[in-house]
Amino acid sequence: MRILVGVKRVIDYAVKVRVRPDKKGVVTDGVKHSMNPFDEIAVEEAIRLKEKKIAKEVVALSIGPTQAQETLRTALAMGADSAIHVEVPAGELERVQPLHVSRIISKLATEGKFDLVMVGKQAIDDDCNQTAQMTAAMLDWPQATFASKVEKDGDYLKVTREIDGGLETIKVGVPAVISADLRLNEPRYATLPNIMKAKKKPIKKMKASELGVDLTPTIEVISVEDPPVRAAGIKVDDVDTLIAKLKEAGRV
Ligand code: AMP
């Protein structure tokens, strides 16, 4: 089984994101970026499937600017065998939406004869949660989204999914698309020797146009706003004062 794993370079989860003055996006220049956390989980699971001999090869894919290669090197250092970089100049990055990402993944999955596409359940920058679903639809493959456990079950994969109020277990035939949820695994850290080895692993560079994918946006961002600022809280000494304050504020 060959696995294609999507890894997106996003603003690091620990960075306080600032809205740009033109309110059309967020400040990205000079801001720390890392691999989308759910994608680290997807890479980890793909590598575990390889370690369990369920998969033969893991290929990481990133669609993004030159720096996306750093994200790919991280995936390679974790254990991916090779990588594909679909280069999009930094200035054009905001044009790339989940629809385009899904088209690129579908094309590569078909051309590369992959059996499994693994992605994160969502990218923490746009919070779209669309790529797995659209990719599965385009490929006409079954999808197992929000996976918290993946096991082999004969010719099928048994996937436990995190759903509202519980867990759902489903069986999917391959080829399939899986999206990783938070509890699927705890991603490994790349060791120094593996980081060194990753430098020698191949990264194939290509352009979206070579795959026949047009990056014209279909969604226009009208405005990006900061969340409302929370009013400062107060500390009270005891429950009676708390109740009195809540009464004063008309809350009880
Ligand atoms: P989204 O639908 O945008 O929330 O993204 C869901 C998942 O799709 C991410 O966790 C990634 O695994 C994958 N993905 C999205 N954008 C990209 C990208 N530019 N390059 C590689 N993978 C991506």
**Does residue 61 have its Cβ closer than 6 Å to ligand 1?**
yes
| pLDDT tens readout for residues 25-77 | 999 999 999 999 999 999 999 999 999 999 999 999 999 999 999 999 999 99
Residue 153 alpha carbon to ligand 1 centre in Å: 27
**Does residue 36 have its Cβ closer than 6 Å to ligand 1?**
yes
| pLDDT tens readout for residues 146-203 | 999 999 999 999 999 999 989 999 999 999 999 999 999 999 999 999 999 999 999 9
Alpha-carbon distance of 231 to 240, in angstroms, equals 22
**Other beta carbons less than 10 A from residue 120's beta carbon:** 28
**Other beta carbons less than 10 A from residue 35's beta carbon:** 25
The band of 237, judged by pLDDT with boundaries at 50, 70 and 90, is: very high
Residue 132 alpha carbon to ligand 1 centre in Å: 8
The band of 231, judged by pLDDT with boundaries at 50, 70 and 90, is: confident
**Does residue 181 have its Cβ closer than 6 Å to ligand 1?**
no
Domains of the chain: 2-221 (3.40.50.620)
pTM above 0.85, yes or no: yes
Residue 251 alpha carbon to ligand 1 centre in Å: 42
Residue 9 alpha carbon to ligand 1 centre in Å: 9
Given a cut of 90, whether residue 209 has pLDDT beyond it is yes
Mean pLDDT of 235-241: 94
**Does residue 128 have its Cβ closer than 6 Å to ligand 1?**
yes
175 upstream amide cis, omega within 30 of 0: yes
Residue 142 alpha carbon to ligand 1 centre in Å: 18
Q: Which two tokens stand for residue 214?
A: 């047009």
